[in-house]
Structure 1
Amino acid sequence: MTLICGNKTLDLSRPAVMGIVNITPDSFSDGGQLCVGEKVDLDKTLQTVESMLADGADIIDIGGESTRPGASPVTTQQELDRVLPVVQAVSARFDALISVDTSTAQVITEASKAGAHLLNDVRALRREGALQAAAATGLPVCLMHMQNQPASMQANPVYTDVVTEVLNFLQQRKQACLDVGIASEQILLDPGFGFGKTLEHNLALSSSLDRFVDTGQSLLLGVSRKTMIGQLINSNIDNRLIGSVTMALLMAQSVAQRRAQIGCSNGIILRVHDVRETVQVLTVWQRTIDFKKEII
């Protein structure tokens, strides 16, 4: 499958890797690394993007609002001041496919004008004006499930059937996109690992990816360095690389197997902090698969 992203295309016949660039002082894993106080360090940010692209990132995901558990919202102007200069600079310097991680209508509109190619929204375009703004850009959108809001989402997440409820929500948001003219092939779905979910909820979702593949939509999946990884391996945030990469590989394998079973062409994007290591493990896996096909 090829995803049309404005003036660029993304090949989703194999897993794509999205490198996370958080230009915030308070994101859960790398908050503040690309900022000096509240101000974005543009030179350091561009160095980070350059490194990610050299390591094999297919997409750069730029976010100006922390959505970690307990995070406070930012104003529209704060988000614009963080995001737009980075999108403009990355677009000018690199031949890169740029995603913007935002829920805000004005940021969606202005980021598109500045050179963004994909819209990635943890609130699934539910903020006022966001759905219409996204449709007007003509860009693909990623819709993520989140129970409640970042400030409260991990307080006490409860579901009767987490997989069915998340699927139903995403299908409803997909329909809302279709209703404003966003084409089905331009819609990606994200179960929202760690966004209003316990470890058991996250494991139920990761074990049921075939049901998300069966929707016919491409998927964006992000577990990199998250609490669920730390809980599984009893490790702090600085020591979750192997766990994160392992889970990314397991998800890629699960999606690929289901795609082969039902003969669909929808793809997968893996959203990660550690681009080089994720690309390496996917490359080893893919080359092994390709070799097996050659000798059959």
Structure 2
Amino acid sequence: MIFPKGRGQPPLVMGILNLTPDSFSDGGRWNDTDSALKHAAEMVEQGASIIDVGAESTRPGCTPVSADEEWSRLEPVLKELKGIVDVPISVDTIKAEVAEKVFSLGVDIINDVNGLRGEGMIEVCADHGASVVISHMYGEYSEMHSVHMSGDYKAEIRDFLYTQSDKAMDAGISADSIIIDPGVGFGKTPEQNLEIIRDCSFLGESYSILIGVSRKRIVSKVYPDMDIDDASAKLSKTAVDSGANIVRVHDVARTVSELRL
């Protein structure tokens, strides 16, 4: 799968489908299969080019779930999703065991906020010819909201993402199938997050760049008096203007409208 990279390419919108009961913004809203499938179809109609399905929350203070629990949330929806939407399907997971299972149901992309650091994740994705989103997270998964970067953080983010991309390519994943995500909100200060959003150019143009700011804390810090989804759309537009190729969002319609301005 080939994704846009570099400036001048039309951006893609990745619509978020949360199947978690404890997501920071819409936990429990799409818990039953019918409502989840309906919402996915609506996002595609509104302009989503990718649907990203998640079954484990990354909100501050969230409780990790087992691979079995994560799979039990994903399986009923993924069994039917490919027949409902005609866009690539991504699954947001850090577990190779879960990734192995979702590929049998037509999933195209693994979105790993742990940056493919988990045991076996790179190999599983390569074996199935999958595309990958490699995210930067400072520190370990369990502490991503309690530690922050210092020093030349941009160089550190870029070095990590390029190192992990090299590992992915060594395993057989093509460069065109790699998306890099600097990980807004994962181990960065508000100031660092905003600087990343406003200037994605430090990541270069070797890979497609994804930015996810939707409904995160930084949104309310930048636009404290604005509706959260309107503000998220504005910050997503800022990211695209600064070099992002894909934006990951909850409200597809508002984001698509903002990107057209």
150-159 or 97-106, which deviates more: 150-159
Report how far residue 242 of structure 1 moved. 2.0
SS of 1:17's equivalent in the other structure is: strand
SS of 2:195's equivalent in the other structure is: helix
The aligned length equals 258
Aligned-partner Cα distance in 2 for 1:84–1:126: 24
Report how far residue 152 of structure 1 moved. 2.2
SS of 2:126's equivalent in the other structure is: helix
1:145 counterpart = 2:136: yes
TM-score by length of structure 2 reads: 0.93
Aligned-partner Cα distance in 1 for 2:189–2:134: 20
Aligned-partner Cα distance in 2 for 1:133–1:210: 30
Match of 1:191 in 2: 182
Aligned-partner Cα distance in 2 for 1:54–1:141: 24
Aligned-partner Cα distance in 2 for 1:87–1:268: 26
Match of 1:290 in 2: none
SS of 1:106's equivalent in the other structure is: helix
> Contact 1:69/1:151 (CA < 8 Å) preserved in 2?
no
**Equivalent in 194, 217, 227 of residue 227 of structure 1:** 217
**Equivalent in 278, 282, 287 of residue 259 of structure 2:** 282
RMSD across aligned C-alpha pairs, in angstroms? 1.7
Match of 1:258 in 2: none
> Contact 1:159/1:165 (CA < 8 Å) preserved in 2?
no
Structure showing greater radius of gyration is 1
Report how far residue 93 of structure 1 moved. 2.5
Aligned-partner Cα distance in 2 for 1:277–1:233: 16
Report how far residue 207 of structure 1 moved. 3.1
> Contact 1:193/1:202 (CA < 8 Å) preserved in 2?
yes
Match of 2:247 in 1: 270
> Contact 2:4/2:245 (CA < 8 Å) preserved in 1?
no
> Contact 1:68/1:150 (CA < 8 Å) preserved in 2?
no
**Equivalent in 107, 111, 118 of residue 98 of structure 2:** 107
> Contact 2:198/2:238 (CA < 8 Å) preserved in 1?
no
Report how far residue 64 of structure 1 moved. 0.9
Match of 1:129 in 2: 120
> Contact 1:20/1:61 (CA < 8 Å) preserved in 2?
yes
> Contact 1:97/1:117 (CA < 8 Å) preserved in 2?
yes
Match of 1:27 in 2: 23
SS of 2:143's equivalent in the other structure is: coil
Unaligned runs of 5+ in 2: none
Unaligned runs of 5+ in 1: 5-9, 36-40, 256-266, 286-296
Aligned-partner Cα distance in 2 for 1:106–1:199: 33
SS of 1:43's equivalent in the other structure is: helix
Please tell me the residue identity of whatever aligns with 2:251. Answer: D
Match of 1:293 in 2: none
Aligned-partner Cα distance in 2 for 1:94–1:250: 28
**Equivalent in 146, 153, 156 of residue 162 of structure 1:** 153
SS of 2:64's equivalent in the other structure is: coil
Match of 1:14 in 2: 10
- Where does structure 1 differ by over 3 angstroms across 4 or more consecutive aligned residues? 10-13
Please tell me the residue identity of whatever aligns with 2:14. Answer: M
Deviations 1:203-237 (A, max 9, x none): 2222331121x24110111001110011122359x
Aligned-partner Cα distance in 2 for 1:188–1:134: 13
> Contact 2:19/2:55 (CA < 8 Å) preserved in 1?
yes
SS of 1:146's equivalent in the other structure is: coil
> Contact 1:143/1:170 (CA < 8 Å) preserved in 2?
yes
